[in-house]
């Protein structure tokens, strides 16, 4: 029999803590093409996922598959960065997808920043825009909390009124204004993927109130909420969603947009984390 989610998170957390030998103030998950943020940290310790007990492997191009821990430049704020995450579409269970978040929780981390690449459903969005996630719609249609309940993980029926912290959203908007970076607030809708959407699906999503669409983040945010972590969510709009433009959507384009806005993104995230 495999061990419980709680025990697996404890085992991963213990291993990471021993490796990095420091307290982590903020955990960050980097989306497709956004890996460069991890390189900005000082005094880095790098832990490949394959060395961490019970962690899955990153199989997606643009996701390095390692945990990078270090100080935010010029500060003593210690940040643990996932350079690459696990997705449901890779075939992992949502227990596997969210184990890193559980492990951060077990390490005592209370502050979390989730980032991703997403398609712009809102017709006012342009490729390269950054979107602050105000809320989500879970059309992945499965909860990471499904299964036998373990009280040690949190409540059976956790409230989801404020998954993305209002305070962090205020901080993010202030930071963006100071940096003169356009940061729009909107609703992120998650799907299982890995195929992109049809134009009809995108029209449906707009009717449902979605501003951006992607294949990650929501399971992690739900688990973080259950564990009482405060969460910030930022989407990089890498492309207009299907049907809004003549061109087809592809992963190379998603990655390239990440590299193009990388500097802005790193600057903004750094400024926000300092204030979290
Ligand atoms: N759809 C879903 N996920 C995405 C997209 C998209 O258009 N772009 C980047 N991730």
pLDDT tens string 106-144: 999 999 999 999 999 999 999 999 999 999 999 999 999
238 Cβ inside 6 Å of ligand 1: yes
Share of residues in the chain with pLDDT > 70 (%): 99
Find all residues with CB under 8 Å of 62, minimum gap 6, and list them.
32, 33, 35, 84, 251, 254, 255, 258
Residue 45: beta bridge partners? Answer: 69
State mean pLDDT over 206-213. 98
Q: For 2-36, write each residue's pLDDT tens digit.
A: 789 999 999 999 999 999 988 999 999 999 888 89
Residue 76 has a pLDDT of 94
Integer Cα distance of 34 and 83 in angstroms: 8
Mean pLDDT of the chain: 94
Residue 34 has a pLDDT of 87
Instruction: Tell me phi and psi for residue 44, to 5 degrees.
Output: -75, 140
34 Cβ inside 6 Å of ligand 1: no
Confidence band for 245, pLDDT divided at 50, 70 and 90: confident
Is-contact 188 219, C-beta < 8 A? Answer: no
Query: pTM for the whole thing?
Result: 0.96
- b/e sequence 239-258, b meaning 16+ C-beta within 10 Å: bbbbebeeeebebebbbebb
Tokens in use for 187? 């609703």
Give how many domains the chain has, as a whole number: 1
Integer Cα distance of 26 and 171 in angstroms: 15
Which atom of ligand 1 is found nearest the CA of 191? 2
Residue 57 vs residues 17, 154, 251: alpha-carbon distances, Å = 20, 26, 19
Comparing 58 with 154, the larger pLDDT belongs to 154
Q: For 37-64, write each residue's pLDDT tens digit.
A: 999 999 999 999 999 999 987 777 766 7
Residue 63 has a pLDDT of 65
CA angle 64, 220, 38 (to 5 degrees): 35
Confidence band for 260, pLDDT divided at 50, 70 and 90: confident
CA of 117 to the centre of ligand 1 (A): 7
72 in the Ramachandran plot: left (φ > 0), alpha (ψ -120 to 50) or beta?
beta
Q: Which domain covers residue 112, as residue numbers?
A: 5-275
117 Cβ inside 6 Å of ligand 1: yes
Find all residues with CB under 8 Å of 271, minimum gap 6, and list them.
175, 178, 179
CA of 255 to the centre of ligand 1 (A): 11
Integer Cα distance of 133 and 29 in angstroms: 14
Please compute Rg for the chain using Cα positions.
17
Q: For tokens 């103030």, what's the residue? A: 25
Secondary structure string (H, E, C) spanning 192-203 = CCCCCCCHHHHH
pLDDT(1) > 60: no
Confidence band for 247, pLDDT divided at 50, 70 and 90: confident
Residue 156 has a pLDDT of 97
Tell me the best of 249, 250, 257, 260 to mutate to test the pocket of ligand 1, counting ligand atoms within 8 Å of each CB and taking the most: 249
Residue 149 vs residues 105, 199, 203, 237: alpha-carbon distances, Å = 17, 39, 37, 36
Share of residues in the chain with pLDDT > 90 (%): 84
CATH of the domain at 122: 3.40.50.1580
pLDDT(268) > 90: yes
CA of 112 to the centre of ligand 1 (A): 22
State mean pLDDT over 158-171. 98
Instruction: Tell me phi and psi for residue 2, to 5 degrees.
Output: -75, 155
Residue 130 has a pLDDT of 96
Tokens in use for 98? 């969210």
Q: Tell me which residue has its CA closest to atom 10 in ligand 1.
A: 118
Strand pairing of 230-240 and 111-120?
A: parallel
């Amino acid at each position: 029999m495999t061990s419980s989610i709680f025990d697996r998170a404890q085992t991963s957390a213990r291993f990471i803590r021993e490796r990095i030998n420091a307290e982590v103030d903020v955990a960050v998950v980097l989306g497709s093409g956004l890996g460069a943020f991890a390189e900005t940290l000082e005094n880095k310790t790098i832990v490949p996922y394959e060395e961490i007990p019970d962690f899955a492997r990153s199989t997606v191009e643009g996701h390095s598959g390692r945990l990078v821990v270090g100080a935010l430049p010029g500060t003593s704020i210690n940040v643990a960065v996932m350079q690459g995450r696990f997705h449901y579409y890779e075939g992992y269970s949502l227990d596997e997808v969210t184990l890193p978040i559980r492990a951060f929780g077990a390490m005592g981390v209370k502050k979390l920043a989730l980032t991703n690449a997403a398609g712009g459903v809102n017709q006012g969005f342009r490729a390269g825009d950054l979107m602050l996630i105000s809320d989500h719609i879970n059309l992945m249609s499965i909860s990471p909390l499904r299964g036998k309940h373990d009280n040690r993980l949190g409540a059976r029926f956790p409230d989801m009124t404020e998954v993305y912290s209002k305070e962090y959203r205020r901080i993010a908007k202030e930071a963006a204004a100071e940096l003169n970076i356009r940061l729009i607030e909107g609703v992120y809708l998650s799907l299982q993927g890995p195929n992109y959407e049809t134009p009809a699906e995108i029209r449906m999503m707009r009717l449902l109130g979605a501003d951006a669409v992607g294949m990650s983040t929501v399971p992690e945010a739900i688990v973080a909420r259950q564990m009482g972590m405060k969460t910030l969510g930022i989407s990089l709009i890498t492309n207009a969603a299907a049907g809004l433009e003549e061109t087809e959507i592809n992963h190379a384009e998603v990655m390239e947009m990440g590299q193009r806005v990388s500097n802005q993104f790193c600057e903004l995230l750094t400024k926000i984390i300092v204030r979290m």
